[in-house]
Structures are given as C-alpha cells and as structure tokens.
Amino acid sequence: MPSLNIENVSFSYGEGDVLSSLSFSVSREERVAVLGSNGSGKSTLMKLIKGLLPLKRGEILINGTSIREKSARRDIGIVFQNPDSQFVSPVLEEDIAFGPVNYGMGRRETERAVRESLECTGLWERRSEAPLQLSGGEKERAQLAGVLAFRPSVVILDEAFSMLDAKGRGEVESLALSAFSSSIVLFITHSAEDALFADRVILLSGGRVVADDEARTVLSDTKLLESASVRPPFPARIRSRLLKRGINIGPVLTEDELVEAVCRLR
C-alpha cells in the first residue's frame, strides 16, 4: 500500500517562508486535492515532493523512504499543465517508453508497459504518430500514459487539465482516477471545481494547512474557501446566496445536485 508523509516541512525562496511547518500524510490509495490560491505554496510543495527543489527543513517520505533518496523520487510521476513541455520524442510510442527505459525496465517489460498504458488511455492506434499532432485531450491522455507506464506510487497532477474545457477536463480526470487506482493521486489546483474529483481536500493558505477533511466538507464551506481566497464551486455559491434570503436547499456541490434541490422547492 503506497504512503506519503509530509513532516514539518518549511521552505523559503529568500525572505519569509513560502511553506511553514507543513504536515500531512496519505497512507492508502487516496485521491487528495491540494487546493489553494496563487501564492498559497501548493506549487512549491509539489516541487519539493518530486525533488525539484532542495528539501532543507522537515522531511518527505515516499513509502517510508526520504525523497532525498533517488529511489524515492523515481516513485513519483507528475503530469504538468502544459503537455507540450513534457514530450521528449517525436513518436508517441517512444515517448511513453522514455520513463520505463530510464528507470531500468527490461525491453520486454517496457514494451508491455507501453502497450498497456496506451491501451488504457485509448491511444494505442496513435502510437506511431507525433505527440504534438494530437488534439488537446489526446495530449493530456498521452501525458497520463507516460506516467502510467512506469507505475509510480504517487502521481501528482499539477493543474494538469486546466487547458481543457469542462467536458474534456471531466473525461480526462475520470480516466486518471481509473488508471491510477493503485496509486496515491494528488491534484494540485486552484480550482474548487477540479477538487470535486478528490476524496479529500487539503486547503492551503499562506503556506499553511487551514483545512484537511473530506472533499464535500471542505468544498461546501464557502466562508472557509473565501477566507483562503479560493472561489467556491458554483452550486455552493448559489446555496449561500439562497440562505441569505432564508431559503435552505441543503448541501449541493454539483450542478445536478443544484438542479434537483431547486426543483424540490416547487
């Protein structure tokens, strides 16, 4: 069972801490949204977990091993916001093989991993094409395939699907949850709507954890989100406005829930 432990982590780029005594843990296959506005520290945290920034204060453990160890950093996969910056080969199949080959997989194991990841993401028939010629949604799926191929314990989605429209984002996020069902998945995001896909939300503000609870609990608390400069989900904002008028439609977080609740008022 995968595990991730953040223990009393602080970080500064110069004056003042960007992260201050940050601690939380994930000890099973869980989907966790790290939610926060610009400047909250979420991107710095992602870079520290992957080892892209030096960890000087505190500890980060992947499956019990410090990320100061190369073996732990290899067990982390990242899907970035811009897929074009992540492709390393002019041929999709070769691009997906990059991770497994560099992590020491044998030829047959690499071939099997590449095929399985491309089939899982619906791109096997496009394997001989150039990644940059794919559509936006296909590029996002290609990123997922590249990470899936080397089977990391922790997968970080860093604002990964923000360039897609709402429909495309939902489809790829659902695919990601299915593809990485045996991994810890961290959604790094400023969007409360994207956090709806998570089981749990860790809300950051000023480099500190201000909430860590089930997704519905955090995302339905409009005052908490606004205090952290995060815009609440649209249905939660409508509910809040109705409450001010004395109308209680109950907790709603999705548009379907909002429509159903409003219809019950008739």
Confidence (pLDDT) at 164: 67
If DSSP states are collapsed to H, E and C, what string results for 236-262?
A: HHHHHHHHHCCCCCCCCCCHHHHHHHH
186 in Cβ contact with 154 (< 8 Å): yes
pLDDT mean over 84-113: 91
pLDDT in tens, 151-170: 899 999 988 767 667 777 77
The residue type found at 220 is S
pLDDT in tens, 241-261: 888 888 888 888 888 888 888
pLDDT in tens, 127-140: 999 999 998 888 88
Average pLDDT, the chain: 90
Question: What structural domains does the chain harbor?
Answer: 4-216 (3.40.50.300)
**Coil, helix or strand for 118?**
helix
* C-alpha distances out from residue 264 to 20, 210, 234, 238, 239, Å: 46, 34, 19, 15, 14
Cα–Cα distance measured from residue 202 to residue 101, given in angstroms and rounded to the nearest whole number: 34
Highest mean pLDDT among 12-16, 26-30, 205-209: 205-209
Confidence (pLDDT) at 145: 92
If DSSP states are collapsed to H, E and C, what string results for 130-172?
A: CHHHCCHHHHHHHHHHHHHCCCCCEEEEECCCCCCCHHHHHHH
pLDDT bucket at 7, cuts 50 / 70 / 90: very high
Confidence (pLDDT) at 237: 92
Percent of the chain, pLDDT > 70? 98
155 in Cβ contact with 187 (< 8 Å): no
pLDDT in tens, 189-237: 999 988 988 999 999 999 999 999 999 999 999 999 999 999 999 999 9
Confidence (pLDDT) at 163: 67
User: Residue 264 pLDDT more than 70?
Assistant: yes
- The set of residues, in sequence order, having a beta carbon less than 8 Å from that of 179 and lying 6+ positions away, is 117, 120, 121, 144, 148
* C-alpha distances out from residue 220 to 9, 157, 213, 230, 240, Å: 28, 23, 11, 12, 9
Give pTM, 2 decimals. 0.89
Confidence (pLDDT) at 6: 96
Q: Which of 254, 140, 144 is nearest to 192 (CA)?
A: 254
Confidence (pLDDT) at 175: 79
